[in-house]
Amino acid sequence: MNKDVDIEHWSRFADEWTTWARAPDHDAFWAYRASLLAFIGRGAGEALDVGCGEGRVSRVLKDCGYQVTAIDPVERLIKAAEQAGSADTYKVAAAADLPFEDHRFDLAVAYNVLMDIEDVPGALKEIRRVLRPLGTLVISIVHPFADRGRFAGPEADAPFILQKSYFGRERFEGTEARNGLQMHFAGWSQPLESYMAALESAQFAVTSLREPVPDAKDRDSRMERWNKVPLFLWLKARILPI
């Protein structure tokens, strides 16, 4: 698979994603935003938003108190993030080739971006390079279990059905439509063990793990089902001492 396949995809659908992501309370991000802010925590210093998209996680990082640098390999997404005042600094760059000196950042966040990267171990090694020795990496991914199944129906108590093997790595592409908007998604699905192996190879140790549920005030009928099966997996990791 061409390593630029996801750059091509997100370049093609950059405007579609910006509209989708900025519609208030539209997708699952909004039902977890307050919990995400609490998980990241208040801080100071320099933060790197890896694969920033249109900038909504960069805006969360600013709310947490950080000086934020936003990077994305898709120029149109960087322009959208900049137009919204999402960060303090912007660069068009891929996670596996970061244009920064060693040990620059106190915090790096990869929010739902590792699923879009073919060489996850290589990207994590590059993130480690630009993190300070006591820095923190925060990762969000769609939960690998949720990736491999579906709910049997629209009801809040509908059973979750595992459609295919949890194991193995595979490409996914699909379209979601909601409230008059649509979004074409694409990326990679792989089990948690693959992410852990990539973190190990990059000399990261996981220090915190969360399987969040939707924030109580946002538990509408569409999100209620995700109180029994996790939609997201959040990790914090630190660099292992040499």
CATH number for the domain spanning 155: value is: 3.40.50.150
Mean pLDDT, the chain, integer: 93
Domain with 83 in it: 5-239
CA distance 12 to 76: 10
CA distance 195 to 181: 31
Sign of the C-alpha dihedral, residues 188, 173, 155, 112?
positive
pLDDT digits (tens, 9 = 90+) for 32-46: 999 999 999 999 999
Q: What percent of the chain has pLDDT over 90?
A: 83
pLDDT digits (tens, 9 = 90+) for 138-167: 999 999 999 899 999 888 889 999 988 999
CA distance 144 to 188: 10
pLDDT of the residue at 5:
58
pLDDT of the residue at 2:
37
pLDDT digits (tens, 9 = 90+) for 85-136: 999 999 999 999 999 999 999 999 999 999 999 899 999 999 999 999 999 9
The answer, yes or no, to whether residue 63 has pLDDT greater than 70, is yes
User: What global pTM score does this model have?
Assistant: 0.94
The count of structural domains within the chain is: 1
